[in-house]
Structure 1
Amino acid sequence: MTTTTPTLPAGAQATGKPTTASGRVRKRLNSRTATVISVVIAVVWTIPTFGLLVSSVRPEDQIKSNGWWTFFTDPQFTLENYQDVLFGSSSSSGQLASYFINSLAITIPSVLFPLAFASLAAYALAWINFKGRDWMYIAIFALQIVPLQMAIVPLLKFFSTGVSLGGITIMPAWDLVDEQKFAQVWFAHTCFALPFAVFLLHNFISQLPKDLMEAARVDGATHPKIFRTIVLPLITPAIAAFGIFQFLWVWNDLLVALIFAGGGNETAPLTVRLAEMAGTRGNEWQRLTAGAFVSMVVPLVVFLSLQRYFVRGLLAGSVKG
């Protein structure tokens, strides 16, 4: 009896090159050239942010007289800019503390609502057979090309007059005041985010092993139980990826929040106040830099804490083999 030892293909044995697409991509991304390019891009991308940070801790006369890079030859440090923009009492100061809370009140529900609706819709479109499923998915996918600016006027009309058909009121107008206007912003951001959220989560959910789903059904699991116990734990990277996208979008949004929540102190987010601080001439540089950096802290913390899920969620299923 003779035995044979499996051998690699001649080309792979001689050169040691990866034979799969994922192996070739991984090798190119780990090359020295790719590393150098990544470092250069990271440095160039970080310089403006670093300059913003340096400017935010410089006195007003220094900011208005020379560039931030002169800080290293003539270092002058102060935290008065941050104290002024966060807790200042004058009308020209930032008073960002309350606006910071407004931004959180707008952003967190605007992330959770589309995630909840989109994950359920994506599961239904991926694993529940019903008539017109494919056409419904195509229609949802096509909605991504519609600019949100085109939907602002119809949404405003919907909020102000409601929906009526043949003189019969189907849904009354949204007569909201003060903090109640947050609901309009949540609704708008949820509508704008759902097409992309369904598309991203559907791509992830549809690639889950079919045998796993069939085994759960054989054991008598219903769709709600399968979704809760099997699907949700497995799509955490995709949920985190979309959550980061949506959080950054809503946190940095000015247009939607200004239109649907207004510019009052009770509902306006950080972006609205920063735009007001800039004014028509943008001459309050010491406050603008400190306020801008304050607005960057939360998105940076969210991204850095979830970046591993962000990468996994975006790359899942993109490279096979």
Structure 2
Amino acid sequence: MSQQLQTSSKLEASEARFSLSRLRRSPLTLLLHFSVLLIVILWTLPTAGLLISSFRDKDQLALSGWWTSLTASEQNLMVRTGGADTQIQDGDVFVLKGQLLVDNKAAQVRAFGFSSGEPTKFIPGDIAKMKNGGELTVTADGKYRMTSLEPFKGNRGKRIFFTAVVPPKFGLDNYHTVLGAEGIGRSFINSLTVTIPATIIPILIAAYAAYALSWMRMPGRNILIAVVVGLLVVPLQMSLIPLLRLYNDIGALFGVGAKTYVGIWLAHTGFGLPLAIYLLRNYISSLPKEIIESAKVDGATDFEIFMKIVLPLSYPALASFGIFQFLWVWNDLLVATVFLGTGEEHMVLTARLRELLGSRGGNWEILTASAFVSIAVPLAVFFALQRYLVRGLLSGSVK
């Protein structure tokens, strides 16, 4: 009986200590959860703003931020009155009158003017004196009356500048501009032509190298691993031009043109191999040693071990690097411009979207829609393979 009481008291004491430790850790756990939530919000908020902006009217997008997209905004607008054929004579003066419209609705006017230099000089109800002795009056509901001592001439009408309250507007105009642009379909195919081989080739090469650096004994293996890690910090911009010159020299030797897909495939392969080898080696070296040794005892060669055992088990690591490489190559502009140029035949999607902006970025409002058009394919790839991403990156970090 006494032993049972002692055992029970020990269990109760242990549960009490466990509960106390949970209470002590709870503030830290709450802080951790709050920090993760904050990071997720800060990471997601710009993307949400970009998505909202892609559906906004381009004029409103230029005047206010996406967080004001659901509220009315004030815009400076300009309209022309009717031509001289619409004027009427009222006593000694000639009159042009009508209704200011915004989206085919009566405008809510906050200010007006007849000069582009002073578009908000007058408030609704004021009488604006014009240079020719005439007058202009605009009411708050958008009705205007312009008078002149001399008959109005011309059929274009007179300009009226005004500030009106405009309700929020959303639409697909930005997407129509991007998707309807000439050559966008060809550029989409070109991006796939560049991205798919430039993702597969480094994976194939890196998988063989990672297995060799993990399980095959060779002189200088540690030095090779150190070189691979060192290559991770080499800037792409630093080696881009020397690589291009080397490729041009080799191409001239074998009669291969400079602006071909082969060059950009080799370039992306070279830039992606260090990270690919590093990630795959971490994963492959963490595989159970007993599996490799058992296969060797059974007489399997290194190639058979790699193809039948290591490669099927390394699918998470292959998928995780494939996501990274696909994203980098798909969103690339610099390497594609250097190795493929800006010709219509080989122009990739990122270069095509840049061309839509013009030399001075005049149509910058389509950037938001362009961003989501360009990330549609990478998002599909990511969500298809994301379950392997964390497994592939973390494998090998804990023994």
TM-score interval, normalised by the smaller of the two chains = 0.7 to 0.9
How far has the Cα of 1:256 moved from its partner? 0.7
User: In structure 1, how many angstroms separate the alpha carbons of the residues matched to 2:383 and 2:47?
Assistant: 16
1:32 partner SS: helix
User: In structure 1, how many angstroms separate the alpha carbons of the residues matched to 2:301 and 2:337?
Assistant: 43
Q: Does 1:47 align with 2:45?
A: yes
User: In structure 1, how many angstroms separate the alpha carbons of the residues matched to 2:239 and 2:356?
Assistant: 28
Quick check: 1:60–1:285 contact (8 Å CA) kept in 2? no
| Pairing of 1:157-176 with structure 2 (within 5 A) | 157-162=245-250, 172=254, 174-176=256-258
TM-score, normalized by length of structure 2? 0.66
1:146 partner SS: coil
User: In structure 1, how many angstroms separate the alpha carbons of the residues matched to 2:249 and 2:38?
Assistant: 53
Q: Which residue of 1 aligns with 2:114?
A: none
Deviates more, 1:184-193 or 1:279-288: 279-288
How far has the Cα of 1:148 moved from its partner? 1.8
2:232 partner SS: helix
Quick check: 1:216–1:226 contact (8 Å CA) kept in 2? yes
Task: Work out which of the residue numbers 40, 44, 62 in structure 2 matches 1:64.
Answer: 62
User: In structure 2, how many angstroms separate the alpha carbons of the residues matched to 1:212 and 1:292?
Assistant: 46
Task: Work out which of the residue numbers 168, 185, 188 in structure 1 matches 2:264.
Answer: 185
Aligned-partner residue type, residue 33 of structure 2: T
2:393 partner SS: helix
Deviation by residue 1:15-73 (Cα, 9 ceiling, x = unmatched)? 449xxxxxxxxx99x93322222222212222221121122122223223332233222
How far has the Cα of 1:137 moved from its partner? 2.2
Task: Work out which of the residue numbers 128, 132, 138 in structure 1 matches 2:226.
Answer: 138
Q: Which residue of 2 aligns with 1:153?
A: 241
How far has the Cα of 1:276 moved from its partner? 2.6
TM-score, normalized by length of structure 1? 0.81
2:308 partner SS: helix
Quick check: 1:99–1:270 contact (8 Å CA) kept in 2? yes
Q: Which residue of 2 aligns with 1:263?
A: 342
Deviation by residue 1:91-146 (Cα, 9 ceiling, x = unmatched)? xxxx4322222111111111100000000011011111122222222222222222
Q: Does 1:79 align with 2:205?
A: no
Q: Does 1:33 align with 2:31?
A: yes
Q: Which residue of 2 aligns with 1:112?
A: 200
User: In structure 1, how many angstroms separate the alpha carbons of the residues matched to 2:357 and 2:177?
Assistant: 15
**Structure 2: 5+ residue runs without aligned partners?**
1-6, 20-24, 72-166
User: In structure 2, how many angstroms separate the alpha carbons of the residues matched to 1:208 and 1:121?
Assistant: 16
Q: Assess, with a 3 A threshold, how the Cα gap between structure 1 residues 217 and 319 changes in structure 2: closer, same or farther.
A: closer
User: In structure 1, how many angstroms separate the alpha carbons of the residues matched to 2:14 and 2:327?
Assistant: 44
User: In structure 2, how many angstroms separate the alpha carbons of the residues matched to 1:13 and 1:235?
Assistant: 42
1:310 partner SS: helix
User: In structure 2, how many angstroms separate the alpha carbons of the residues matched to 1:13 and 1:219?
Assistant: 51
Identity of aligned residues (%): 49
Quick check: 1:127–1:206 contact (8 Å CA) kept in 2? yes
User: In structure 2, how many angstroms separate the alpha carbons of the residues matched to 1:299 and 1:279?
Assistant: 25
1:31 partner SS: helix
User: In structure 2, how many angstroms separate the alpha carbons of the residues matched to 1:250 and 1:266?
Assistant: 18
Q: Assess, with a 3 A threshold, how the Cα gap between structure 1 residues 59 and 235 changes in structure 2: closer, same or farther.
A: same
> Between Structure 1 and Structure 2, whose CA radius of gyration is higher?
2
Deviates more, 1:112-121 or 1:102-111: 102-111
Quick check: 1:63–1:285 contact (8 Å CA) kept in 2? no
2:375 partner SS: helix
Deviation by residue 1:149-173 (Cα, 9 ceiling, x = unmatched)? 222222121222228xxxxx9x535
Tell me which protein shows more strand as a share of its residues. Answer: 2
**Structure 1: 5+ residue runs without aligned partners?**
18-26, 90-94, 164-168
Deviates more, 1:298-307 or 1:188-197: 298-307
Deviation by residue 1:205-260 (Cα, 9 ceiling, x = unmatched)? 11111111111111222212211111112111111111111111111111111100
Report the count of equivalent residues: 291
User: In structure 2, how many angstroms separate the alpha carbons of the residues matched to 1:38 and 1:268?
Assistant: 40
2:396 partner SS: coil
Task: Work out which of the residue numbers 284, 287, 290 in structure 2 matches 1:208.
Answer: 287
2:384 partner SS: helix
Bigger relative contact order (CA 8 A; separation at least 6): 1
User: In structure 1, how many angstroms separate the alpha carbons of the residues matched to 2:267 and 2:17?
Assistant: 56
User: In structure 2, how many angstroms separate the alpha carbons of the residues matched to 1:285 and 1:263?
Assistant: 20
Aligned-partner residue type, residue 61 of structure 1: D
User: In structure 1, how many angstroms separate the alpha carbons of the residues matched to 2:48 and 2:386?
Assistant: 21
Tell me which protein shows more helix as a share of its residues. Answer: 1
Q: Does 1:282 align with 2:364?
A: no
Quick check: 2:323–2:382 contact (8 Å CA) kept in 1? yes
Quick check: 1:64–1:285 contact (8 Å CA) kept in 2? no
User: In structure 2, how many angstroms separate the alpha carbons of the residues matched to 1:16 and 1:119?
Assistant: 46
